[in-house]
Structure formats: C-alpha cells, structure tokens
C-alpha cells in the first residue's frame, strides 16, 4: 500500500428523502432528468453481444457495467440534482469531497463510478499485444511482463473484500521509488487511487459510522493544505481491475476469483494502457495547475466547469 494509515470515523448523514429501492439497480426508463450519463465504451456493442471472452458472459457484462454503472450514475444524479455539483465530473466530485467526512455517500458513488469506468475502458474483445516500448518499461519495474502478471493477480486474488488493484506511474522520485517507475497500488471498497483523494481511508469509510472531525484540520479548512496526504504519492493511473464480487461471481462462482483475474489479464488492451502512460507525461504541467485550485469547497466544484446540457461524466 502507498497510503499511510489515517484513523477516522464517519459523521452521520441526514437522509432527506427515500433512496432508490434496493431491488432496483438501473432502469433508464425511470430516469427523467439525467445530467450525469453512462459513459460509452469503445467496444460496448461487442461486449453486449458476446461478453468479454474468457472473462465475462453477456449477462455478466450487463450486470457489471450496464446495471451497476447505471445505478451509480443514477445515484449521482439524485445526490447532485438542483445543486452546483450536478455539472461536475466524477473526477472533480472525488477530489472535492475526499476531505469532507459528511459527504461519504457522494464520494463513494463518484469514486466507484470513476474507478469502474477506468477498469472497463482498458478491456477489448480482441486485445493487442504489449508493445516493445511498454514491455521495456515494465521490465525496468517488474523484471518482466510475466512477473507483473503474477504479482498483479496474486495481489488482487489475496484481497479479502472488495476493491481495486491498479498499475500506477510515479511522477517523482522519493526514498523508495524512482521517477517514472511503475508499481501496484490497492484501494478498498470505493477508495480512490487519485492523489488528491488519499486523505480518505476508505476501508473505514462507511456511511453509518458516527463521529465528526476525523480529518482534523483537513476537514475544517479544505483546499488550503497539500493535495497529497502524508504518506501518499503523486501518481498517474494506467490500469486497474475491479475485485468486487458482483463483477465475477455470476460467471466464475464463489471460488472463481482467480479464474476471473486470469481472464481479465487476457482481455487487457495494452494500447490503451500505453496511451494512458504517454498521455499523462504531457499533462503534468496542467496537473500541477489543477492541484493548486481550491477544490475542497463544495460550491466551487459546479462553478469550475460549465458543461453542455447533454450531460457530463
């Protein structure tokens, strides 16, 4: 783990109206007003028709993406409707609420929607091979792609509980890692790998825990401290796998998590992974500018980006 432990508890949430029925996941026919929308995957047609070979059946894909991601988007619409936040992307919602103990529900749904989208966006029904350039970079950090595979799958399979496992690039050198080195990061429940969200210790971030001030000064004066928590790292996210049971249980059974992970590795679109790597290096100056923006104030998020009426993600 990259993050250092931060003890915290969750404040009580005030429920103003009944939430979505638990037996319903996502039904677009019930959506009357949708600012946030289900993002379109590049291979959605093939996934819907054939599933993801070796990984998910069409029914498993429909559950893990259409229904579950649709449910997350629906909840974001309900939580932000009529507020300045309804025009904010999931990325901005995560950063704005990572230090706000009383916004656990909004953070959780935005973080899960962002992470699940990252997971599915790196999959392909006909994945290309890893390029020599990317292979060389992986060799530098993991000795070989096979070593990366074994480490990645073993880490994800050993997680006792739901979460995500990520391949990340470290932007700057520290006492343990070289600049541009790749490493593996785990996040639990709806925890986010984004550097600006590292203040939230997600494995203790349940909506029903009662206490205030668990973030100390970070919750009292958001936006004024460093955007990276103590013990955190400034990273870019290249690849991730979702280990939540609803993703793999239908197709692989109770003991089939490793089988799912083996199938996932064969479905990775390495061109997308390499694109994530190269696109991040050219955006670091913009990222530095973004980190200096005071995202912590709730009202600032909706004003920061005005989006077209057709929806945001």
**CATH classification for the domain delimited by 32-304, as one of 1.20.5.510, 3.40.50.720, 3.30.365.10, 3.55.40.20:** 3.55.40.20
Question: pLDDT for 34-82, tens place per residue?
Answer: 577 888 899 999 999 999 999 999 999 999 999 999 999 999 999 999 8
On average, the pLDDT of the chain sits at 75
The pTM of the whole model exceeds 0.85 = no
Lowest mean per-residue pLDDT among 69-78, 150-159, 215-224, 227-236: 215-224
Lowest mean per-residue pLDDT among 9-13, 80-84, 105-109: 9-13
- What single string gives the DSSP state of each residue in the chain? --SPP-----------S----TT----GGG-S--SB-PPPPTTHHHHHHH-BTTTB-HHHHIIIIIIHHHHHHHHHHHHHTTSGGGG--HHHHHHHHTT-GGGHHHHHHHHHHHHHHHHHHTB-SSPPPPPHHHHHHHHHHHSSHHHHHHHHHHHHHH-SSSEEEEEEEESS--SS--TT-EEEEEEETT---SGGGTT--GGG--TT---S-TTTHHHHSTTSS-SS-TT---EEEEEEEE--HHHHHHHH-TT-HHHHHHHHHHTB-HHHHHHHHHHHHTTHHHHHHHHTS-TTSHHHHHHH----TT-B-
* % residues pLDDT > 70 (the chain): 64
Query: Residue ranges of the domains in the chain?
Result: 32-304
Residue 295, pLDDT score: 33
Residue 297, pLDDT score: 33
């Amino acid at each position: 783990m990259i993050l250092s432990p931060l003890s915290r508890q969750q404040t009580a949430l005030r429920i103003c109206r009944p939430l979505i029925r638990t037996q319903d996941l996502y039904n677009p026919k019930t959506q009357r007003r949708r600012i946030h929308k289900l993002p379109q995957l590049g291979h959605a047609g093939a996934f819907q028709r054939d599933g993801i070979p070796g990984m998910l059946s069409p029914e498993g894909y429909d559950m893990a993406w259409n229904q579950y991601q649709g449910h997350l988007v629906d909840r974001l619409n309900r939580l932000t409707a009529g507020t300045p936040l309804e025009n904010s992307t999931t990325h901005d919602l995560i950063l704005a609420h990572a230090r706000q103990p009383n916004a656990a529900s909004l953070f959780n749904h935005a973080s899960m929607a962002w992470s699940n989208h990252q997971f599915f966006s790196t999959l392909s029904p006909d994945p290309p091979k890893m390029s020599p350039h990317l292979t060389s970079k992986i060799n530098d950090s993991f000795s070989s792609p096979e070593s990366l595979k074994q480490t990645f799958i073993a880490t994800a399979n050993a997680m006792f509980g739901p979460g995500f496992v990520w391949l990340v690039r470290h932007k700057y050198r520290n006492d343990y890692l070289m600049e541009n080195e790749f490493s593996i990061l785990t996040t639990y429940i709806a925890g986010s790998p984004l550097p600006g969200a590292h203040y939230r210790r997600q494995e203790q971030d349940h909506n029903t825990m009662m206490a205030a001030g668990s973030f100390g000064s970070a919750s009292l004066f958001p936006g004024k401290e460093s955007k990276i928590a103590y013990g955190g790292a400034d990273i870019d996210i290249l690849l991730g796998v979702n280990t939540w049971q609803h993703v793999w249980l239908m197709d692989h059974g109770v003991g089939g998590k490793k089988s799912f992970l083996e199938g996932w590795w064969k479905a990775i679109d390495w061109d997308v992974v390499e694109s994530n790597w190269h696109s991040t290096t050219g955006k670091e100056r913009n990222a530095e500018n973004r980190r200096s923006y005071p995202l912590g104030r709730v009202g600032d998020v909706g004003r920061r980006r005005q989006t077209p009426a057709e929806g945001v993600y």
